[in-house]
Chain A
Amino acid sequence: MNAIIFSALAGVVMMYSGIITSKKTVIKYIAAIALVVLIAANLLQVYGIWQISVDTRDMLSFEKFGLVFNTLAFTATLIYVLLSGKEIENAGVNVAEYFALIFFVLCGVSILSSFNGLLMMFLGIEILTIPLYILTASDKRNLRSNEASLKYFLMGSFSTGIMLMGIALVYGATGSFALHTNAPVALSATGGIKASFLEVAGMILMFVSMAFKVSAAPFHFWTPDVYDGAPGVFTSFMATVVKAAGFIAFIRLFEGHTAILGPTWKILLAFVIVATLLIGNVTAVFQQSVKRMLSYSSIAQAGFMLFALYSSNDMAKEGLLLYSVAYSLATIGIFAVLIKLKDYAFDDFNGLGKTHPALAFATTVCLLSLAGIPLTGGFFAKYYMLASMVKEGGPLWLLIVAVLFAAVSVYYYFRVIQAMYFKEGTPSVQTEITSGFKAGMVLLAILIILLGIAPSLVLNLFYF
């Protein structure tokens, strides 16, 4: 409860901070402090020291998994604000509002990590999404930003409709919004679990809607357009913290209910995973803009995260936390560098290795992590995903396909490394690069490598 209350409060505080001061930097620091407070408040609840108790009539339940995810998400946001704060300041006029919206998104994240009923889940998703529509359009005079926002809104509404329809059907079948009452109804004669038509149909609709949120194929179409059109600094946020929260909600929603869906569930999920990996990885190969490449890469990474849903055992949940952290940190790092460059083309990175060796090194580590090279966090993230799938008895060919697509991903990630180190040129750095930023990036790289050497750092959080 601490996380939900404090993030909402922080959002309100941020809105008023715009009235008190017009200095953008001050607002940024207020946001950073608010984040620290938020993390501290959440940690207090994680360790069971102090928490605000509100009777939610079992609509929310605070488990360690969700609370740990909150901590990780808030920390990732803090790193994001520290690294890309300058760009948030410059994204538009109303800086205080942007930070306020980010905190409202975090409020949605906290709800999604603790909902115990369909209604709360719906609320969480909407609280999470609506600020994003606005953030996408924050570059008001830019036509592409507006277009992206409108597209996002149109398709988002469509998916919300589907979600609501699904919830309505499930409610009709079971008479409850609660997650854990719609457990298996009866066993059929053949030993399979028989659930009512309405309930299964409702689940399918919710699945479609959630697949849309996490940009799984073939419901991913909004992702490249929106990520590409939105201001880079907000794309970074959307592609990381928000996406990870979507997965947490996804796995919380379906965990323990897949039996109702029957064996077809796994087949269709495998199809969705393969389609997501295929479209994400293969389409990314041809992109000419790093930003657009990264949005396809986020689809590809979503394909990997879907394995957690496929196996949905304890290992998968641990792995998903690790994946969220490894993927978010790496993506935040790359975007932090990317948005300092003039446009988002591969050529912009030419010669970065010579002019900014520290930045190039950190970016390389981030890219290696995304590609899943050993000694970076990304390797163990992918490993846990695949291992949990194997543990659950998933088919071998699925594993091979996943690994092959991971190999394809090396191609487009390494194009950036190639540009940085093997091509001549002067990178067009727009914003001034402070030594603090460099130090931050190097620390980020070290953190990613640390995760790659001792993934138990994150996994132990889950157990301790």
Chain B
Amino acid sequence: MSKLVYLVPLFPLLGFLINGLGRKSLSKTMVGIVGSGAILASFIVSLCIFFDVKEHGATVVNLFSFIRTESFSIPFAFQVDQLSSVFLLIITGIGFLIHLYSSAYMHEEPNEHFGRFFAYLNLFVFSMLLLVLGANYVIMFIGWEGVGLCSYLLIGFWFKNDNYNYAAKKAFVMNRIGDLGFLLAVFWLLFKLGTVTYGDVFANVAQLSTFDITAITMLLFVGAMGKSAQLPLYTWLPDAMAGPTPVSALIHAATMVTAGIYMIARSNILYTLAPATQTVIAVVGLATAIFAATIALKQNDIKKVLAYSTVSQLGYMFLGLGVGAYTGAVFHVMTHAFFKALLFLGAGSVIHAMHHEQDIRKMGGLKKYMPVTHITFLLACLAIAGIPPFSGFFSKDEILMAAYGKNPLYYYIGLGGALMTAFYMFRLYTMTFLGNFRGTHEQQHHLHESPSAMTIPLIVLAILSVAGGWIGIPDVMIEHGHQLEHFLAPVFAESAKLAEHHHLEASTEYMFMGVSTVAIIIVIILAVNAYRKYQDNGAENTGLGKVLENKWYIDELYDAVIVNPLNALAGFLKNVVEKSGIDGVVNGVGRLVGYGSRQLRLLQSGQVGNYILVMVLAMVVFVLIWFNDQTIMDFLSKIF
């Protein structure tokens, strides 16, 4: 079965080609069937592969030789193992639900753009699958760049709006900064080890010096920072809300942002051997988690809150990676994928009902108009806040426990972030669904529950958000409850051997769980109480609130420190260096050739006598050079 793994990315690729080429002629129904069907087919194959891996273990499937030179070769091969099969399920499973949802959500788009949208979505999933399946860093990089491109295309999907294009460009450029780090790391590996294939690299890490490993892992992490939106390269993700809501769901849940986590989890041996990098990752992750959470406290755009929440949650995942809890990070990727996809799709459902209104100050009381959306959204909020037994509780708890083992301070700060998460999520929930409706009368008139193509994905995701965590119940609660850990164990086996283990007393662990749960519940009650009777009185935030609302002015800071100086430099190069220097040289060469052409043309006089004269002269010169003139020979042999 694993031999058929190429089918997994093949279906979305075919879907992309069919929808992309036939976007003008295919009907919307057809486009929807092809687009969603391709992902569904991939999901089914992924399921088979998952069980195959569970049964028979990991393999590498070689497809063909991609690049071959004398000194190294890069095969086009797929890595079919526990880690990639879990990611395959997340990508194709959630990807399919999002596709299904999109077929209803995007229905107002004109035919051609509808086809274009699905083509991009399929390409997005294809790239992500390539990223996850590649058996070496180069194939991963192809997918890595592919998701970057697709995010650009989808964020700027409504390209007639300049702001959206700007957001798309921002995402692309930010990602490119990270990609440079990734690329350098790959070259470094190739230079030192002569291979980029995972198996060979991980088997030969002993050949690398500590400096090399630290540098390579740091550079890879720079790549992950860009793709997974960590400080300081996170600013593109909130702006990426410019794309249609299903795209946000896809970027945040199934594809793209999890790429960085996957890459580090895949390279776990390298990271385990580079403790300095691990510390950096943990600190950056934690800082991002807190920083983004503070911003989310004061955002009023329903999607922006969710975006900062993703950045914050990704921070937790990196914290997990940084403290060596690889399973925990992957676990959190999975549960986060469930509830964040649900939150975004729920938000999309709300936006759909509110006629593209995204400001939560103008919502409220939607509970009675949209029962399915409301219930599922609430479940997702409970999951992300970390209330047991919802999925988020188990994964977040696992990361925080591991963090405590490494450094108790990580735990306390992380817990602070978790409390903020609970607060802003329930602020969002309360302002949207509880209280009185604060929108216009016309909007109220049109409020409706979304069609079943949108609510079915919500219900499925809600079930997963509730129950998804049960495959990772800590061993202290149920013996061998953490099935995911046992499943993934082979991938992280080498790292587990090297890493030091901190085992917490079962009682300590129970105590932390209890304390954090109680604290979170208190925060939730506070949030609901504070915003239940919210009225938009137009009061401006002041002090810290204003700073938070304006996202710590980070965008302005980047503009002032990086963008504007670069623009000034570019202006100088364009107006001075290029106009007076380079253009002169380039045009000069052109003029020289043109002049030469006009002169050489004159040789062609049309007189046969002249021609033959030149030929004879040349012949004489040849003979002379060959036989007589030693000085000419010496001179020429010096030159040639």
Contacts and interface: CB of A to CB of B under 8 A. Distances in A.
Interface of A: 151, 154-155, 158, 162, 197, 200-201, 204-205, 207-208, 212, 218-219, 221-222, 224-225, 261-264, 266-268, 270, 278-279, 282-286, 395, 408, 411
- Counting from the closest, the 6 A-B pairs by CB-CB distance are A286-B597, A221-B611, A285-B597, A218-B618, A283-B600, A282-B596
Contact of B633 (A154, A204, A264): A264
A225 B604 CA distance: 8
A268 B608 contact: no
Contacts, number: 79
Contacts of B622: 204, 207-208, 268
B65 to A, nearest CB: 14
B618 A219 contact: yes
A257 B614 CA distance: 27
13 contacts: A154-B608, A204-B619, A205-B619, A221-B614, A222-B611, A225-B604, A262-B626, A264-B625, A268-B622, A282-B597, A283-B601, A285-B596, A285-B597
A201 B606 contact: no
Contact of A282 (B600, B608, B619, B633): B600
Contacts of B611: 155, 221-222
A213 B615 CA distance: 13
Contacts of B627: 197, 200-201
Contacts of B608: 151, 154-155
B604 A267 contact: no
B636 interface: yes
Contacts of B526: none
A266 B603 CA distance: 26
Interface of B is mostly: helix
Contacts of B597: 282-286
Nearest to B626: A264
A225 B640 contact: no
Given A208-B619, A225-B606, A395-B640, A218 B614 contact: yes
Interface string B609-625: 01110110011001101
Contacts of A270: 640
A225 B607 CA distance: 10
B615 A218 contact: yes
Given A225-B606, A264-B633, A204 B623 contact: yes
Contacts of A263: 637
B593 interface: yes
B615 A279 contact: no
Nearest to A212: B615
Given A282-B596, A285-B596, A286-B598, 15 more contacts: A151-B608, A158-B612, A201-B623, A204-B619, A204-B622, A204-B626, A218-B618, A219-B618, A225-B606, A261-B626, A268-B622, A268-B625, A268-B626, A278-B600, A286-B594
Contact of B601 (A218, A264, A266, A286): A286
A155 B625 CA distance: 24
Interface residues of B, number: 28
A155 to B, nearest CB: 6
A219 B593 contact: no
B604 A285 contact: no
A271 B626 CA distance: 13
A190 B601 CA distance: 45
A395 B597 CA distance: 26
A154 B626 CA distance: 28
Interface of B: 590, 593-594, 596-598, 600-601, 603-604, 606, 608, 610-612, 614-615, 618-619, 622-623, 625-627, 633, 636-637, 640
A267 B636 CA distance: 8
Nearest to B639: A267
A266 B639 CA distance: 12
Given A218-B618, A222-B611, A285-B594, A267 B601 contact: no
Contacts of B618: 208, 218-219
Contacts of A411: 590, 593
A190 to B, nearest CB: 14
B640 A282 contact: no
A218 B618 CA distance: 7
B183 to A, nearest CB: 22
B615 A221 contact: yes
Contacts of B601: 283, 286
Contacts of B636: 267
A285 B601 CA distance: 10
A162 B618 CA distance: 13
A264 to B, nearest CB: 5
A219 B615 contact: yes
Nearest to A203: B626
A116 to B, nearest CB: 26
A283 B604 contact: yes
B625 to A, nearest CB: 6
A278 B610 CA distance: 20
B615 A408 contact: no
A84 to B, nearest CB: 26
Contacts of A200: 626-627
A28 B622 CA distance: 46
Nearest to A154: B608
A404 B611 CA distance: 27
Nearest to A219: B615
Nearest to A263: B637
Nearest to A200: B626
A188 to B, nearest CB: 15
A418 to B, nearest CB: 15
Contacts of B603: 221, 279, 283
Contact of A266 (B590, B600, B640): B640
Contacts of B598: 286
Given A151-B608, A200-B626, A282-B597, A267 B640 contact: yes
Nearest to A201: B623
Contacts of A218: 614-615, 618
B406 to A, nearest CB: 52
A167 B301 CA distance: 91
A225 B622 CA distance: 25
Nearest to B614: A218
Contacts of B633: 264
Contacts of B610: 221
Contacts of B612: 155, 158
Nearest to B600: A283
Nearest to B606: A225
B241 to A, nearest CB: 39
- Pick from A204, A222, A261, A264 the residue with the most CB of B within 10 Å: A264
A162 B596 CA distance: 31
B640 to A, nearest CB: 5
Contacts of A266: 640
Nearest to A221: B611
B94 to A, nearest CB: 38
Contacts of B640: 266-267, 270, 395
Contacts of B593: 282, 285, 408, 411
